[in-house]
Amino acid sequence: MLLPGAASAKKPHIIVIMLDEWGYNNWGVHAKDHANSREVRTPSLDALATVGIVLDRHYAAPLCTPSRAAFQTGRNPVHVTAVNGDTARYNPAVRTISGFDEIPTAMTGIASKMASGGYRTHFLGKWHAGYASRLLLPKGNHCHSDTAMNEFQIE
């Protein structure tokens, strides 16, 4: 698949904002059509939405780790098998470091794909997709730099 501008020398900046436990009406773009529209004020996010692309029709896992791992790898959560502490799903053949709660190191992720296209990638915020080894952190997943947080601490 070819993307418009993919062959051009000047690449567009891409910013992805992923939020946990964020209701559909919790930002101004969607709240405008609902009763709580006067309570919800998100001017910066609204401004980004007017010049960017809003993807609001997606499936997500009910917990953050499977959703984050799925986004980072481009796979459905069940195929990444990252879980939030459910050791009953531990598979030592796939999980060679901690066993669960991580993106397997052999999986290709969005950061490596972006890097192969000439982008530099930076991760900021809650990672929560593996932290038992430095290989599981954003830099281990091909981000050029990161300011990642796990378990409410900055790495």
Domain of residue 106, residue span:
59-154
Percent of the chain at pLDDT above 70? 72
Burial class (CB in 10 A: 0-12, 13-18, 19+), 113: middle
Same domain, 73 and 113: yes
Average pLDDT (94-110) is 69
Task: Say which residues have a Cβ less than 8 Å from residue 106's Cβ, sequence separation at least 6.
Answer: none
Same domain, 80 and 18: no
CB 68 within 8 A of CB 128: yes
* Number of structural domains found in the chain: 2
Same domain, 125 and 144: yes
Opening angle at CA 97, ends 91 and 103, nearest 5: 75
Same domain, 19 and 42: yes
What residues act catalytically? 64, 128
Q: For position 3, what pLDDT does the model report?
A: 47
CA distance 70 to 61: 9
Q: What is the mean pLDDT of the chain?
A: 75
pLDDT grade for 119, boundaries at 50, 70 and 90: very high
Average pLDDT (97-122) is 81
pLDDT tens for residues 130-145? 777 777 778 777 788 8
Q: Does any domain span residue 7?
A: no
Please give the C-alpha separations between residue 5 and each of 1, 9, 122, 147, in angstroms, as whole numbers: 12, 8, 22, 29
- Residue written as token pair 């609001």: 56
Same domain, 52 and 72: no
pLDDT tens for residues 37-61? 677 788 898 899 889 888 877 777 7
Same domain, 128 and 87: yes
Q: For position 155, what pLDDT does the model report?
A: 41
Q: For position 71, what pLDDT does the model report?
A: 86
